Amino acid sequence: MLRLIIYPKNQLGILKLLKGFSFVADKFKKIKATSNAFCRGLRRRLRDQPHLLTTPSTPRIDDTFLVEFPKSGITWLTFLIASVNLQKSGIDRQPTFFAINDLVPDIHTSRHLPKPLPFPGHRFIKSHAPHNPLYSKVIYLVRDPRDVMASYHAFATKLGWYQGSLSDMIRDQHFGIEAWVNHAQSWLTQTRPSVSFNVIRYEDLRSDTAGVLKHIYALLGFTIEPEVIHTAVESSSFSKMKANEDFCTDRNLTLPSDFTFVRKGGNSHKEEISAEDLGYIEQLAGETMKVFGYECHPNEE
């Protein structure tokens, strides 16, 4: 039977060694306790300040946020902006659905953003966030909520995010017209006067794409050559966007075979939403719609 024999001359060394182990264990416990306290505090901070989740990990004062309620046309706008920035940066590259986040990153995909292109030298960032007090420059893209509801339902049901009918979704507090009103009102009522805030209507972007794109850059102090604007508009046309999407999703086996991101982009609500549901939308959102210049016809059949 093995027996541990400690000679008197080694006892002091053994005691020191054991004491050292105890010291390390105590230190580790303190570090662990501190780390746990920090994590708990961080979770509380994120819970109490959810806007941090939609703020870059390294925010910059010159960040420009492109904000919308989902399905208001922001993907098209990001392609237009990416095309202008690539041309002005002298980079021989086209925006694609596969890599658009390299050029106009989506804050909901990652808070760790790539460096900006040489032009304009700062970042355009896509966001669906409700009012965020940390955004200092905001282009707010708004679309007729009746068309938003039709487009959002087609998108969400194809991806399996929503299982109900269009009528059900319109009345859903998380996806429907109430969510649209809350999103819009958060920006209209909570944005401080010191924030650079500008509203762009999707319908105006469709009817005068070149003019609206030129206006966005003018807000930032840039005059963009007509040929650059023309190339961006041409390369981001419906047919080009649709072909781009088909190419990039052809071998994406995670998507439904009949899924499409690029839809008609027009006034689809007249064909897809019942008169009763249109009345419900206009009853809840009518006042907010009028702020953005959208007419309500509650008795329209």
Is residue 282, in this structure, part of any structural domain at all? yes
Q: How does residue 148 score in pLDDT terms, banded at 50, 70 and 90?
A: very high
Is residue 33, in this structure, part of any structural domain at all? yes
Is residue 4, in this structure, part of any structural domain at all? no
Query: Is the link from the previous residue into 120 a cis peptide, with omega within 30 of 0?
Result: yes
State whether 76 and 38 are in the same domain.
no
- Which tokens in the block code for residue 134? 């940390």
Is residue 223, in this structure, part of any structural domain at all? yes
Is residue 130, in this structure, part of any structural domain at all? yes
pTM over 0.75: yes
State whether 43 and 102 are in the same domain.
no
Cα–Cα distance, 177 to 281 (Å, whole number): 6
State whether 137 and 155 are in the same domain.
yes
64-68 and 137-142 as β-strands: parallel, antiparallel, unpaired? parallel
Question: How large is the average pLDDT for residues 242-254?
Answer: 86
Q: Among 48, 67, 85, where does a domain finish?
A: 48
Range of the domain at 43: 19-48
State whether 34 and 150 are in the same domain.
no
Is a pLDDT exceeding 90 seen at residue 26? no
64-68 and 196-201 as β-strands: parallel, antiparallel, unpaired? unpaired
State whether 39 and 181 are in the same domain.
no
Looking at residue 79, its pLDDT comes to 97
Query: Is the link from the previous residue into 70 a cis peptide, with omega within 30 of 0?
Result: no
State whether 36 and 69 are in the same domain.
no
In the chain, the number of structural domains is: 2
Is residue 13, in this structure, part of any structural domain at all? no
State whether 39 and 122 are in the same domain.
no
Instruction: For the chain, give the mean pLDDT.
Output: 88
**104-142: pLDDT as tens digits:** 999 999 999 999 999 999 999 999 999 999 999 999 999
**177-205: pLDDT as tens digits:** 999 999 999 999 999 999 999 999 999 99
- Which tokens in the block code for residue 30? 């303190």
State whether 143 and 166 are in the same domain.
yes
CATH of the domain at 139: 3.40.50.300
Is residue 112, in this structure, part of any structural domain at all? yes
Cα–Cα distance, 202 to 179 (Å, whole number): 18
**Which of 188, 149, 146 has its CA nearest to residue 288?**
188
State whether 33 and 140 are in the same domain.
no
State whether 72 and 27 are in the same domain.
no
State whether 159 and 143 are in the same domain.
yes
Sign of CA dihedral 271, 297, 149, 174: negative
Is a pLDDT exceeding 50 seen at residue 86? yes
Q: Higher pLDDT residue, 266 or 79?
A: 79
Instruction: Give residues with Cβ within 8 angstroms of 158, minimum separation 6.
Output: 256, 258, 259, 260
State whether 183 and 268 are in the same domain.
yes
Is residue 220, in this structure, part of any structural domain at all? yes
